[in-house]
Amino acid sequence: MLTPSEELAEMDRLIHEPARLALTTALMADADADFVFLQTLTGLTKGNLSSHLHKLEQAGVVTLTKTGAGRAARTWVSLTSQGHEAVRGHWQRLEGLRNLAEGGLDARDPGPSG
């Protein structure tokens, strides 16, 4: 079993970055989302959101689909099957880390009766 420090060192930094974790978690809840929705949800600038999405796309975590043209153009974002697995696994690792940390605290802290 890994220690909390070892678990932290094993985190997927691509997904764990706060903006990307928010994006990928939102996409776990919805099949796909458009760029404007994700921008509103995260509060990121267009350029920053584009940069994060590009990194996720390059890693095979999301796919980007452009529809329409001109003023009606929209960019849709969805998780790939690899992305679903990565995000699900990341949340499981975070939950395990939380449980490990709480267990470690419980083991050292006998509480008020101790």
Residue 52: burial class (beta carbons within 10 Å; 0-12, 13-18, 19+): buried
Indicate the pLDDT class of residue 3, thresholds 50, 70 and 90. low
Mean pLDDT value across the chain = 86
Number of Cβ within 10 Å of residue 24's Cβ equals: 26
- Entry pTM: 0.79
Fold exhibited by the domain 4-101: Arc Repressor Mutant, subunit A (1.10.10)
- Reference 13, options 56, 65, 76; nearest CA is 56
Tell me how far apart the alpha carbons of residues 103 and 112 are, in angstroms, rounded to a whole number: 17
